[in-house]
Amino acid sequence: GQQLNQSPQSMFIQEGEDVSMNCTSSSIFNTWLWYKQDPGEGPVLLIALYKAGELTSNGRLTAQFGITRKDSFLNISASIPSDVGIYFCAGRPTGTASKLTFGTGTRLQVTL
């Protein structure tokens, strides 16, 4: 099946630092999305991207749809303790109208 490589797998950061994570695919995607999962809960959508080159912000979060359509990036500015959780990228490959592929996740832990 489709593979999405997400990195880093985990990271510890100081409160107030900026965070960057990315996701790459071996094939072209039509849609890129970023989700966050808190412990014991289901993922929640953060940002959705629909055009190559698109840059979208949601508060302190900014995500970009890569120009090659094979990657996407998520940045978190000025991290706070509630940013702790697992961040997943997800994408819809070209030719798959109804299937979404998820990355393996980036576990973010913030130290005070």
Partner 1 sequence: NAGVTQTPKFQVLKTGQSMTLQCAQDMNHEYMSWYRQDPGMGLRLIHYSVGAGITDQGEVPNGYNVSRSTTEDFPLRLLSAAPSQTSVYFCASSFPGRGRIGELFFGEGSRLTVL
**Binding stretches for partner 1 (CB under 8 A):** 1-2, 4, 6, 31, 33, 35, 40-45, 48, 50, 88, 90-92, 97-105
Distance between CA atoms of residues 68 and 16, nearest Å: 31
Nearest approach, Cβ of residue 90 and partner 1 (Å): 6
Retrieve residue 59's tokens. Answer: 């508060």
Minimum Å gap between C-beta 64 and partner 1 is: 16
Residue number with CB closer to partner 1 (32 or 76): 32
Q: Which position has the token pair 């302190």?
A: 60
Return the bridge partners of 5, or none.
24
CB of 63 to partner 1, least distance (A): 13
Closest C-alpha to 90, from 46, 10, 33: 33
